[in-house]
Amino acid sequence: MPLGKGNSGKKRKESAGEWKPIFLRALATYPVVGEACKAAGIARKTAYQWRKEDEAFRLAWEDAWQDGADALELVLIKRGIAKDNVALFFILKGIRPEVYRERHELAGPGGGPIPVQHDLSRLNQEELMALRGMLLKVETAPLTGGEAARRN
């Protein structure tokens, strides 16, 4: 990796061994990549390049990111219900969308598929034949993995 100046304007650390632990500690404290880069004295591009090329660093990054998200969650819990929690909640939605995103699930009776009924009486003979052809094509087409699982 080329050496130069990071986002903070300070000379970058001479080797990844010097800046990686600093970067990871900062990321675990506040899960903000730009701030972690400043703390480590490196450019964002450097951090992302190392994450792309070094599997161990990528895994450590993920761990540090989760630690930072845990810290944010703890702050939110400790503050309780207050006006300033709205901002923290939006940050958490960005960091942990699998936990905090809004989910909408639609289901039919008993949690099954939603029944759909169509009034075909308004179709002319030509449209009915075209629809029949499309349905036959769908019913005889080979199933992909996900489709096969849903039909079984």
Lowest mean pLDDT among 26-40, 45-59, 115-129: 115-129
The pLDDT score that the predictor gives to residue 50 is 95
CA-only gyration radius of the chain, Å? 26
Highest-scoring range by mean pLDDT, 15-29, 33-47, 129-143: 33-47
Say if CB 36 and CB 44 are below 8 A apart.
no
Say if CB 1 and CB 16 are below 8 A apart.
yes
Average pLDDT estimate for 79-103: 73
Q: How many CB atoms lie within 10 A of CB 23?
A: 28
